[in-house]
Amino acid sequence: MREKHIRAIDLNLLPVLDALLRLRNATRAGAELGLSQPAMSRALGRLRHLLDDPLLVRAPGGAMLSPRAEALRQPLAALLGEIRTLLVAPPFDPAEETRTLRLAMTDAQAELLLAPLVTRVAAAAPNVLIEWVPISAGLPTRMSAGEVDLTLALDTTPLPRGASSEPLMEDALAVVVRTGHPCGGRWTLADYATYPSVLIALIGDSTSDLDTELAARQLERPVAAIVPNFRAAVQIVAVSDAVTTISRAFAERIAGQMRLQLIDPPLENRRLGVVTVWASYRGGDPLLAWLRAQLRAAASATQASSSTSQ
């Protein structure tokens, strides 16, 4: 038999051959496949030409398989089974997964979400390791390369090219001062020019929408310190007359232990919407989709707990 190149073979004929070998009848095979009798006859002719074999031969009790066809029956059934397995996604079970998933978030977000998230993941996927990655420059590139799986960001932050996002939680800004601060529990825009601020520079940029709003009022806030995380900012505020304007949810979590007071800022927009961001090409990763669901559940439980305690 002459050698045939696979690119010259119509692979659509394989299910037809399988039905013929199982049913040993061209009419019944055509009915199973939804082929008309002429179409089935053409397919049978092409298979006979391709394999240089009659496949079905007449016998006293009806058609029977040729020796060549009989030899093909089991290998073909196994091959088609493997192809179906290849094309159909296996059932997803987080308990069977073994992977390290890296989440980039601020220390304030980690304070709120990391413990409940790790607890949920450990209960359902004990072989999945959660690694907290601090926010840093180059995150879009690291996400595209698969080095970072999810990133938490504000919904006002422009998405990098090739990224997708979904809402995670609602937060708000709060002015945070020490208990007994000279401001007396009230805060105006002019107070920003009176008391020094502690700024948080996550990726080297300490300016914010607040500075833009103050500049529009021809106000500028003096700076007491610039720090790389929120925990350091409130530690300074707790022992000085400095102030910081940060996530209310985070400040409420630590206010009691650090003797802090929270004040509503006199800003046009106090809202902070937090979103989860991931590389769009990984949208079909079932473990990543499952992790986003666990993160949403952790955020929902955190917000519900915060509402109850108020």
Position 238 in a domain: yes
User: Residues 50, 9: contact at Cβ < 8 Å?
Assistant: yes
What's the number of domains the chain is made of? 2
Say whether both 135 and 247 belong to one domain.
yes
Do the beta carbons of residue 100 and residue 41 sit within 8 Å? Answer: no
Is the pLDDT confidence value at 2 over 70?
A: no
Return the pLDDT at 276. Answer: 97
Q: What pLDDT is recorded for position 293?
A: 96
* pTM greater than the 0.85 cutoff: no
Give CA–CA dist 305/301, Å, rounded: 6
Same domain, 136 and 201: yes
- Residue 19: is its pLDDT beyond 60? yes
pLDDT tens digits, one per residue of 43-54: 888 888 888 888
Residues 6+ positions from 289 with CB-CB distance below 8 Å: 283
Per residue in 241-262, is it b (16+ CB within 10 Å) or e — as a string?
ebbbbbbbbbbbbbbeebebbe
167, 108: one domain: yes
Q: Kindly state whether residues 171 and 30 are assigned to the same domain.
A: no
| pLDDT bracket for residue 1 (50, 70, 90) | very low
Do residues 164 and 281 touch, judged by C-beta distance below 8 A?
A: no
232 CB-near residues (< 8 Å, 6+ apart): none
pLDDT at position 209 is: 78
Question: Is residue 48 located within the same domain as residue 150?
Answer: no
DSSP string, 235-273: HHHTTSS-BEEEEHHHHHHHHHHHTEEEE----S--EEE
Q: Do residue 35 and residue 143 come from a single domain? A: no
pLDDT of residue 308: 57
Please name the residue that has the structure tokens 């979103």. 275
User: Average of pLDDT values for 103-112?
Assistant: 96
Q: Do 67 and 202 reside in the same domain of the chain?
A: no
d(CA 19, CA 28): 8
Closest to 237 measured CA to CA, from 225, 249, 252: 225
d(CA 117, CA 130) in angstroms, rounded, equals 9
Average pLDDT in the 114-136 region?
Answer: 95
Judged against a pLDDT cut of 90, whether residue 122 lies above it is answered with: yes
- Is 162 domain-assigned? yes
The three-state secondary structure class of 275 is strand
> In this model, does residue 4 exceed pLDDT 60?
no
Decide which of 5 and 228 is more confident: 228
- The percent of residues in the chain predicted with pLDDT above 90, rounded, is 52
Residues 117 and 38 in one domain: no
Question: Is the dihedral angle over the CA atoms 61, 62, 65, 66 positive or is it negative?
Answer: positive
Residue 107 and residue 41 share a domain? no
Domain termination residue (choose one: 38, 70, 87): 87
Q: Which CATH number is 254's domain given? A: 3.40.190.290
How confident is residue 304, by pLDDT bands cut at 50, 70 and 90?
Answer: confident
CATH (domain of 61):
1.10.10.10
Residue 5 has pLDDT above 60, yes or no: no
pLDDT tens per residue, range 182-212: 999 999 999 999 999 999 998 766 667 788 8
Does 28 score more than 60 pLDDT? yes
| pLDDT, tens digit, 9 for 90 and up, residues 45-103 | 888 888 888 888 887 777 788 888 888 888 888 888 778 777 777 788 999 999 999 99
* Last residue of one domain, picked from the residues 52, 87, 122: 87
Are residues 289 and 244 part of one domain? yes
Range of the domain at 183: 96-310
181-187: which pairs have CB atoms within 8 A and are 24 or more residues apart? 181/241, 181/243, 181/261, 182/241, 183/243, 183/263, 185/261, 185/263, 186/263, 187/263, 187/264, 187/265, 187/266
- Do 211 and 310 sit in the same domain of this protein? yes
Task: Tell how many helices (H) and how many strands (E) occur in the chain.
Answer: 11, 11
pLDDT digits (tens, 9 = 90+) for 227-280: 999 999 999 999 999 999 999 999 999 999 999 999 999 988 889 999 999 999
pLDDT classification of 217: cutoffs 50, 70, 90: confident
Q: Supply 127's token pair.
A: 């072989």
Using the 3D structure, point to which of 61, 87, 113 is the last residue of a domain. Answer: 87
Residue 229 lies in a domain: yes
The reply to whether 257 and 304 lie within a common domain is yes
